[in-house]
Structure 1
Amino acid sequence: MTNHRIYTMRFASVYGLYIAKAEKKGRTKTEVDEIIRWLTGYSQEKVQMQVDKQTDFETFLREAPRLNPARALIKGIVCGVRVEDIEEPTMREIRYLDKLIDELAKGKAMEKILRM
């Protein structure tokens, strides 16, 4: 397994960047939180606990209570790479979340983002 730098980044710092990106485009922290909960199965309280504990991104995903099976429906390009072609599981999960936040920032409806 390749150890990417993002794996050791604190989830709290990436979370803050997700919120800033969404708010810059007129979206909300609440919507970011809903996306994270949908993807990972964390409750809002548990997301906040992970932020407060300064958990690294890899641990945040590894400890996710229930990764949403519908995440396999997430398709497209993030950082120049097609998410569905990423073989390394942890990086694929990170890019799924990146893609959902990108969709939010681009103004997509929450129902479409959450594959409803």
Structure 2
Amino acid sequence: MTKHKIYTMSFASVYPHYVTKAEKKGRTKIEVDEIIRWLTGYSQEALEMQLEKQTDFETFFAEAPQLNSSRALIKGVICGVRVEDIEEPTMQEIRYLDKLVDELAKGKAMGKILRTK
């Protein structure tokens, strides 16, 4: 079976789209970075290094220092598919991130996005 195209795309090529989506709705790059750090465990410096290295999505998630255990609380539909029902682990991580950025763009409070409140 061939890998999905997104796995080999560089995270850095999609990252600006996450930021643009958030900024169009009055949110910030800082908030996008906070979401990514919460989900993956990367420090800001390590996140920036991954962006500079043009790391692909599969490697980005495989090398994540500590995937947040609370990510299992992320529920809902992204691209017509329920994120909690995605069986392939890497695709689920990608869709978790998509869902969190969507929630940010929809104006949800950071505490709710990060599943702390």
> Residue 107 of structure 1 aligns with which residue?
107
Aligned-pair identity (%)? 79
In the alignment, residue 79 of structure 2 is paired with which amino acid? Answer: C
> Residue 79 of structure 1 aligns with which residue?
79
Q: Which runs of 5+ in 1 are unaligned?
A: none
In the alignment, residue 8 of structure 1 is paired with which amino acid? Answer: T
2:6 corresponds to 1:6? yes
1:70-97 CA distance string (max 9 Å, x none): 0000000000000000000000000000
2:14 corresponds to 1:19? no
In the alignment, residue 67 of structure 1 is paired with which amino acid? Answer: L
**3-state DSSP of counterpart to 2:95:** helix
2:65 corresponds to 1:65? yes
Please report how far the alpha carbon of residue 106 of structure 1 lies from its aligned counterpart in structure 2 after TM superposition: 0.2
- The 5 Å alignment of 1:10-49 reads 10-49=10-49
2:47 corresponds to 1:50? no
In the alignment, residue 82 of structure 2 is paired with which amino acid? Answer: R
1:87 and 1:105 mapped to 2: Cα distance? Answer: 26
Please report how far the alpha carbon of residue 13 of structure 1 lies from its aligned counterpart in structure 2 after TM superposition: 1.0
> Residue 92 of structure 2 aligns with which residue?
92
1:67 and 1:14 mapped to 2: Cα distance? Answer: 20
1:36-85 CA distance string (max 9 Å, x none): 00000000000000000000011000000000000000000000000000
In the alignment, residue 54 of structure 2 is paired with which amino acid? Answer: Q
In the alignment, residue 104 of structure 1 is paired with which amino acid? Answer: L
**Structure 1 residue runs of 4+, over 2 Å off?**
none
1:77 and 1:2 mapped to 2: Cα distance? Answer: 25
Please report how far the alpha carbon of residue 14 of structure 1 lies from its aligned counterpart in structure 2 after TM superposition: 1.0
**3-state DSSP of counterpart to 1:38:** helix
Q: Which runs of 5+ in 2 are unaligned?
A: none
